[in-house]
Amino acid sequence: MVLFWPIQQELDCINGSGRILGKIKFDVSIDEYIFYPANELINLSSLEETSIAERLSGLESGKYLIPMQDDD
């Protein structure tokens, strides 16, 4: 299981044990959502990879949104 928690205009990806796996961010220069691992030593399980891939696909299709924060 992977939880997706919005922080600013990003999603923290957190596994069932509470470890932050990385962040999903929107890259304006290429107009797509990208997963950025928390560090290069992270080894994702197949379930975690599948959950993240499904979330990325859902963000691209509009099924999911990343809430925008208004700092005003």
pLDDT digits (tens, 9 = 90+) for 40-72: 888 999 999 999 999 999 999 999 988 776 555
- Within 10 A of 11 (CB to CB), how many other CB atoms are there? 25
- pLDDT (0 to 100) of residue 57: 97
Q: What pLDDT is recorded for position 54?
A: 97
Per-residue pLDDT of 9-29, as tens digits, reads 789 999 999 999 999 998 888
